Each structure stands twice: as structure tokens, then as C-alpha cells.
A and B are shown apart, each in its own frame.
Chain A
């Protein structure tokens, strides 16, 4: 039989089925076809599985052993193949999840997903037994969102584990986890999570509609999905959020958002994503509100510093010297005296060096990481100042800017781009240039939407009811009512 002529359904013929499997998979080194006879009868049967995706112990103990030995205790050997099939399905197999399948393509897919297919001679169906069991990382504390107080578990690469982590926090049938497959070749499992009656139905439908439109051969990370479903495709600001922590995702689900989990990555997407979310962390909600309200205000301040401070320095020292208090001007002037570069070149150099240091520090293997900090702190910070290449106030400015950017990691890439834009514009036309960039940025932010909700909401348009969780975090007794923003049209 030729490869192209495989029929769409499973045949009742034993040899034909084996041949079909071999044709489909070709010379698979990890394909296992285990042929055996059921009990003491002469009914031929075989199991198909992918080595490494299945749990060997379960197959040996709970599938092969009952089929080859235990069955003969209960069943006479004279029964037909069909009777034997039904008896096996209903009485013999101890597996928790068995599906009957007639379709070839689906069978092949399930085998590739880690199911075991049981073919019995003379039966035009197969049984797919779920014995998925592969090596996977355990639940660990996520590196990206470290907390002092709060749950330390993080998502893993296993989709089922991830959905279980969410399900464990919401024990209500209203939590829906729907799954679809995306990726023509990779056929990656995607789970859409939402809480019925909390998430708006239109939002869920819109998410599904956008997901179905994705035309991609493979999905390796939730970032692929993000780039296809986000609103501002050309925006530097993210309109889809992500998190590695189940508690964060559940918190967002409870506010009426939708989460998308992708098999193979610990990063879950949350939709819609608003600008203010970049300034919120899970710890804000777990700790007492007063201090974390101040911290949240500090994050907004840090956003300003991270985007604008180097530009302000340039503008003030090259255009608007009169704005500084005299004593501050004197100390800056004395530090700048003898520096061979204009402050714009100086700033740009320092910012580029910082970006290089940061990127190198992330990619480097851990043991080499120390070298980076020594080079950064000693050579660039200390030596360049004493060599008279860079002014000390400049180093302070860039250092403060860099630290401020770490306060808001969710939008730090956008912040970096704005920072460079501000620096260039302030070198061209001073404070006017900075104002120009800010006006452009605010216009852009106002025009952005995330799944029908204004990106700057609840600040603009202002939703007073939801402002209690924006600049400050009010106590839970006030906060317990859900935000209204996701259920009305803002």
C-alpha cells in the first residue's frame, strides 16, 4: 500500500493497521509498536506509543498486564473480536481516561501527544489511553516576579500543570478552561481561561475570534500569540500582559480578564492589558496598603525618571542653565569642567554602555556575571570619571535612571525607547523637545486600545470607581467590589 492512499478511518484489518502506522511515521526511532495476543485467546492486538512521552510503568502494570494475563480469568477465549473489544474497554483497562477513535489523523495526533493507541484485530476502532508522562520541570519560584510576601509557585512548561494551578485557586465551575490548537505543524495546545459571568462575553468571543485567525506553522512561546492578537501592532507599549505567577493570573481573571495559557511556556497572557497594570505588583495586594500605596506612587515617579531624567539633564545643562539653583549649577559646572564631550554625546555614550551592560549581564552564564559588575562599577563608573572622560553627575543621572527603570519591568522596553527619543530631542531643542516627546507619547497612549478598552483607563477616560487601585491601593474592604471597567464600555 502506498503512503498517499491511507484511508481516513481505521481498518478492521490488523496488518493493514500496522502498515498504515509504519507508513505514517516512517522510520521513527522513538516509535514503539508492541504486538501481543490478548489473554490466552488468539486475538492479535498491538499498542502504539512514542517512547519518552508515555509512562512505562503504567503501561506495563496497568495496560499490558491486564490485557495479557488478567483477562483470561474473566473471559472465555471463544468470544469474538468485537465482544473482546467492548469487554476490554469496559472491564479490563484501569486507565482514567480512555477515548474511542475511528479517525486516523486524530489517532496519529493523540499518539504524538503521548497517548497509547490499542488496536485489536477485526475492530475498526482503536482505544486511546491517556498515559502521558514525560520529564518536566517541577513547580518553582519564578525568576521574573520575585515576591517577599505571597505565593512562590510559578507556572511550568506543562499546560495541564498550569491549568491545575489556576483551578486550584478557584473552586467554582464558573471558571472555564477552553482549549484550542494553534500552529499548523506544532499543533500547540492553547487554553483560554475566564470566569463566566465575570468576564464579558464579548471579550471572550473576541479573544477566541482573534486566536482562530492566527495562521502560523508553530507556536513556541506565548509571545507568538501575543503578537498576533494585540491591538497596537506598531506600538512600543504592550497591550497584552503576561505573568509567570498563577496568583497574578487568577487575580486578573477575577477582575474580569481573560487568560491564555500556552503549552510549553510558563508565561500566561492576560487580556486586556492596561497601562496602569505596569505599575501594579501582586505584592501590593498582599501587604498592608499604606506603604505599598507610597511605593506605587514611587513607580509613577520612576517612570518619569526612567524616561526623562537624562534628557532633563541635557536640556538644563545646555539650554536652560538659569533653571538650576546656583549652588547646583556650580557643582555641575565644576564636574563638567574639562570634560571633552558635549553633554549630549556624554549622555548617549553612558546610556548605550548601560544597555550593553544590561544585555550582556542577562545573557552571560552566571559564573561570568561577576565580571560584568566589576567592569560596570569600576571601569565605567569610577575610572571614566577620574580619567576626566565622563562627569560624575552624568554617572549619577544614568545610574538613577537605570535603577528607576527596574521599578517598572513590564514596560521597561518602551521606557528605554522613549528615553533615547527624549535624549535626542532634548539635545536638539531643550525642554521643548522633551515636552514634544511627552505630548506625542500621551497622544499615542490615549489612542491605544486593548480589546476594546482604552489603554489609559481608568485615568483617561476617568472612571472614578476604579481609581482606588491606580495611584494608591486602598484597603481590601473598599477594594472588594470588582472594577467596573471591564464590564462597561469605556
Chain B
């Protein structure tokens, strides 16, 4: 027993001196950052804009502010020679220290993106307080205006923005990408990564009070630099090749008739073969769909189904071909074909139009035709 007390006091004493966990910070002493925007001002200094929670306003249990003035967040910005410098300079004007562990969104201005973001992202991966699973976003809007927008539903715009880009599961026309995913994709042989390009727009023509986020297109980064944009269709081609297609709607046109197919379950597989110095890629796509809607008077017969399937395959092939064409245009390997090639042959792929060919095989299947007989 004496021994026990002795060791207990010893441990407690060492604790007093071993101040390993000294950084006690009460919830009332931190500013919880939800989104951060990165831009450069005229003099070339970094200008960071922060979207910070106002806990007192969020006190209502439903998290909905009573009026539009009562936003759950407020935004402010600071400048500095580096990003870390700018973050610390924020305390020159804010009453509390910024707390980044719950940062959801990193918005990068088009200007910074064109200049390259390899060094910009360094602190977000290096400093312990940042989370590598925050989503990256590029915008051409003014960052201050972008972050300070009045969103209609959530009292925290960053939360709404996060939800919007996560909706990729329903449409398969964008791809949310976190910092570590971006870093992972950029660190490959292909060195390309897509990032959502988001703008703000009015929900209705006449309304001016609130704004909505809109994922307009995808920015393509090659070697950490913004090189071009992908449309929604082109991005679908990328998702097919990467096997990341989730749910989505494919309207198939047959003459005047339109059939909307809903993607239920899809998979893809890509292989490479080398022949005569050329790389032949085979992309196999299997997809299961439901018929969701039809603009047609014709009965659904098996011959019509075959026609729809044929047209559907064609439009999938078309999407992939489009992104491939864009790849050659921008001269960057958006589909990460080089990685596939490298893993098979341990050699870098000579990425140009003449030495790369992709053949696409689509196996569509229509499972159900909905609740109507016709």
C-alpha cells in the first residue's frame, strides 16, 4: 500500500512537470473555422479569408437563424507573406485564435490555381491542426464574396457547400476531392487531378438576397497547376474510366423520343496492351439501369430496348471519347492512363494521340421499367 501511494504520488508529480498537454483551450477561446479561401493580392501577398462560426447565433436548436442578418458565421480576411503568416496575422484583428481542425472547405482562387498550388497545400498537410480531408474547391468569383454569401437553408455556408459537392452521389457529374486525394492523384505518374469549380448564383432571377452554390465544371490540375476545365459530360467520361460512377441520369435520344435511364449499379475495368510501341487500352464498362422516364408513344418492346441500349452505349462511349480528346488537347493525362501503363510495364507512357488508343466496350442492362406497363 505504501508502495502504491508512493508510485501514485510519483506519477502525479511527474505530470506536474511533464507538461506535454499544456495546450488547454476552452471552447469559448477558439474560433472554429469552417472554410478558408486563398487568394493573392496585388502586391503578391497571400490573402486568406476565413468563415468562422458564431456559436451564440447558432444557439437555436434548429440551427436556422431567425433572420438573414443573423447568419451563423462571419467572414474576415488577413494577409501575410506566407499562408501560415497570414493565418497568424488573423489574430491581429480577431479576438481569439483560429481553430482549423473542423475546416471543411479550402477555396482556391483561379489566379492562385493558375500559378500552382503545390506549396500552397503544404501547410494543410503539414500542420497538425488541419485535416487532410477538407474539400478543395476552385472559384473564379471574388473569394470574400464567395465565402460571405447568404445561403438559403444552412446557417453555415461551408456546410451547404460541402453538401452540394457531395451530391455527386446523385448526379455523377462532379467529383468531390479532398486535399489528400488531390495530393495522392497529383503524386502519380500522370500528375493530374480534377477539382470542382464552384460559382455562386441566384436561386431565382428576381431574388437578390440569397445565393446558391453551383458546381459549374471541373478544373483540371496538371502538376499542381490549373490547365483547363472539364464539362459535366467530360467529367462523366473520367468517372467511367476511374470506376467512380455512382447514381445519375442518362437521357437517351432515339429520333424524337427521349428515354431517361437511371444508373443503378456500374463498374468498369481498364486494361492495357503494348503492341508495336503503341499502347492499346481496353475500357470495359458494365452498367445496370432503370428506365425512369420516357417521352415517347411507342410501346416498350424488346427491339426498342435493344435500340435504347445501343444508343446508351454510344453516349457513354461518347463521354469517354470527349474527355480523351480534351486530354490530348491539354496534353495532360486526365484519365491516369499513364499509371495503368506504368503498373503493367514499369515504363512511362508516351502520352500523345498517335501512341495511345482506347477502345471502349459497354455492356448496358436495363433492369426495370418503372411502375407503368407501357
Q: Which A residues contact B (CB, under 8 angstroms)?
A: 233-234, 317-319, 321-322, 326, 329-339, 342-343, 428-430, 432-433, 436, 440, 444
A330-B1 contact, Cβ under 8 Å, with A318-B25, A321-B27, A343-B26: no
A336-B55 contact, Cβ under 8 Å, with A322-B131, A326-B102: yes
**Cβ of B99: which chain A residues have Cβ within 8 Å of it?**
321
Contact A317 B102 (CB under 8 A): no
Contact A322 B101 (CB under 8 A): yes
| CB < 8 Å neighbour of A333 from B15, B21, B55, B101 | B55
**Nearest chain B CB to A403 CB, angstrom units:** 23
Contact A330 B15 (CB under 8 A): no
Q: Residue on A with the closest CB to B21? A: A429
Contact B58 A330 (CB under 8 A): yes
**Cβ of A319: which chain B residues have Cβ within 8 Å of it?**
21, 23-25
**Cβ of B129: which chain A residues have Cβ within 8 Å of it?**
322
Q: Which B residues contact A (CB, under 8 angstroms)?
A: 1, 4, 8, 11, 15, 20-21, 23-28, 30, 32, 34, 53, 55-59, 63, 99, 101-102, 104, 129, 131, 156, 159
How far does the alpha carbon of A322 sit from the alpha carbon of B25 in the complex, in Å? 12
Q: Residue on B with the closest CB to A232? A: B1
**Nearest chain B CB to A233 CB, angstrom units:** 8
A321-B24 contact, Cβ under 8 Å, with A337-B56, A338-B56, A436-B11: no
**Cβ of A335: which chain B residues have Cβ within 8 Å of it?**
59
How far does the alpha carbon of A330 sit from the alpha carbon of B155 in the complex, in Å? 11
**Cβ of B25: which chain A residues have Cβ within 8 Å of it?**
318-319, 321
**17 A-B pairs (CB sep. < 8 Å):** A318-B24, A318-B25, A319-B21, A319-B24, A319-B25, A322-B102, A330-B58, A333-B53, A334-B56, A336-B26, A336-B28, A336-B55, A337-B28, A339-B28, A428-B15, A432-B21, A436-B11
How far does the alpha carbon of A229 sit from the alpha carbon of B43 in the complex, in Å? 82
- Top 10 A-B pairs, shortest CB-CB distance: A322-B101, A337-B55, A334-B58, A334-B55, A333-B55, A429-B21, A337-B56, A334-B59, A336-B27, A326-B102
**Cβ of A440: which chain B residues have Cβ within 8 Å of it?**
8, 11
A332-B20 contact, Cβ under 8 Å, with A234-B1, A337-B56: no
**Cβ of B104: which chain A residues have Cβ within 8 Å of it?**
326
Q: Residue on A with the closest CB to B56? A: A337
A330-B27 contact, Cβ under 8 Å, with A337-B59, A429-B20, A440-B8: no
**Nearest chain A CB to B236 CB, angstrom units:** 31
Contact B101 A444 (CB under 8 A): no
Q: Residue on B with the closest CB to A324? A: B102
**Nearest chain B CB to A273 CB, angstrom units:** 19
Contact B8 A343 (CB under 8 A): no
| CB < 8 Å neighbour of B27 from A233, A318, A322, A433 | A318
**Cβ of A331: which chain B residues have Cβ within 8 Å of it?**
58, 63
How far does the alpha carbon of A12 sit from the alpha carbon of B147 in the complex, in Å? 111
**Cβ of B4: which chain A residues have Cβ within 8 Å of it?**
234, 444
Contact A330 B26 (CB under 8 A): no
How far does the alpha carbon of A336 sit from the alpha carbon of B101 in the complex, in Å? 18
Contacts A329-B32, A429-B20 known; list 10 others, CB within 8 Å. Answer: A233-B1, A234-B1, A321-B25, A322-B101, A330-B63, A331-B58, A334-B55, A334-B58, A339-B28, A432-B21
**Cβ of A322: which chain B residues have Cβ within 8 Å of it?**
101-102, 129, 131
**Nearest chain B CB to A392 CB, angstrom units:** 10
**Cβ of A321: which chain B residues have Cβ within 8 Å of it?**
25, 27, 30, 32, 99, 101-102
How far does the alpha carbon of A334 sit from the alpha carbon of B27 in the complex, in Å? 9
Contact B32 A429 (CB under 8 A): no
**Nearest chain A CB to B50 CB, angstrom units:** 15
Contact B26 A318 (CB under 8 A): yes
Q: Residue on A with the closest CB to B30? A: A321
**Cβ of B26: which chain A residues have Cβ within 8 Å of it?**
317-318, 336, 342-343
**Nearest chain B CB to A428 CB, angstrom units:** 7
**Nearest chain B CB to A336 CB, angstrom units:** 5
**Cβ of A318: which chain B residues have Cβ within 8 Å of it?**
24-27
How far does the alpha carbon of A338 sit from the alpha carbon of B53 in the complex, in Å? 14
**Nearest chain A CB to B33 CB, angstrom units:** 11
**Cβ of B11: which chain A residues have Cβ within 8 Å of it?**
436, 440
Q: Residue on A with the closest CB to B57? A: A334
**Nearest chain B CB to A234 CB, angstrom units:** 5
Q: Which of B25, B27, B56, B99 has the most CB of A within 10 A?
A: B27
**Nearest chain B CB to A67 CB, angstrom units:** 61
Q: Residue on B with the closest CB to A323? A: B101
How far does the alpha carbon of A343 sit from the alpha carbon of B11 in the complex, in Å? 25
**Cβ of B15: which chain A residues have Cβ within 8 Å of it?**
428-429, 433, 436
How far does the alpha carbon of A317 sit from the alpha carbon of B99 in the complex, in Å? 13
Q: Which of B15, B24, B99 has the most CB of A within 10 A?
A: B24
How far does the alpha carbon of A337 sit from the alpha carbon of B30 in the complex, in Å? 11
**Cβ of B59: which chain A residues have Cβ within 8 Å of it?**
334-335, 337
How far does the alpha carbon of A66 sit from the alpha carbon of B62 in the complex, in Å? 88
**Cβ of B23: which chain A residues have Cβ within 8 Å of it?**
319
**Cβ of A428: which chain B residues have Cβ within 8 Å of it?**
15
Contact B27 A333 (CB under 8 A): yes
How far does the alpha carbon of A234 sit from the alpha carbon of B2 in the complex, in Å? 10
